[in-house]
């Protein structure tokens, strides 16, 4: 769907040397957001369920919930505790790199 556009954006941000920062948190879903900050097994199951229901991935760090600009970048990381590198614009983060913490 949006794969091509996201990849293009990634490359342009990368080559422009946009200011990247690193945060740790969890990849949750837009329905539950910060409710999953602890990311227990129950939270994980809920994230999977919400994702299957079509909820977009969000990044939760502390009690803040950020939208994710390039959803493709966190595919396979929903329900994970992660260290995320990217650029923040308002309440939306563009993900350059995701590393699992556990
Ligand atoms: Cu959920």
Phi, psi of 44 (to 5 degrees): -60, -45
Alpha carbon distance 82, 89 (integer Å): 19
pLDDT digit string (tens) for 34-93? 999 999 999 999 999 999 999 999 999 998 999 999 999 999 999 999 999 999 999 999
pLDDT digit string (tens) for 8-50? 555 555 555 557 999 999 999 999 999 999 999 999 999 999 9
> Which residue reads 């590198």 in tokens?
85
Q: Look at residue 90 in the predicted model and tell me its pLDDT.
A: 93
CA of 41 to the centre of ligand 1 (A): 12
Q: Which residues contact 31 (CB under 8 A, 6 or more apart)?
A: 50, 53, 55
The pTM for the full model equals: 0.80
CA of 100 to the centre of ligand 1 (A): 19
Alpha carbon distance 56, 86 (integer Å): 18
CA of 79 to the centre of ligand 1 (A): 9
CA of 70 to the centre of ligand 1 (A): 19
CA of 46 to the centre of ligand 1 (A): 4
CA of 101 to the centre of ligand 1 (A): 20
Give the tokens for residue 44.
């994980």
Phi, psi of 63 (to 5 degrees): -105, 15
Alpha carbon distance 43, 19 (integer Å): 32
Alpha carbon distance 47, 5 (integer Å): 25
């Amino acid at each position: 769907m949006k794969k091509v556009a996201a990849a293009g954006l990634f490359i342009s941000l990368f080559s422009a040397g946009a200011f990247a920062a690193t945060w740790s948190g969890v990849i949750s879903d837009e329905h539950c957001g910060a409710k999953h900050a602890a990311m227990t097994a129950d939270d994980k199951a809920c994230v999977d369920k919400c994702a299957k229901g079509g909820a977009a991935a969000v990044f939760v760090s502390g009690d803040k919930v950020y939208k994710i600009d390039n959803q493709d970048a966190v595919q396979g990381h929903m329900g994970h505790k992660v260290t995320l590198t990217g650029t923040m614009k308002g309440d939306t983060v563009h993900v350059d790199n995701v590393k699992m913490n556990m």
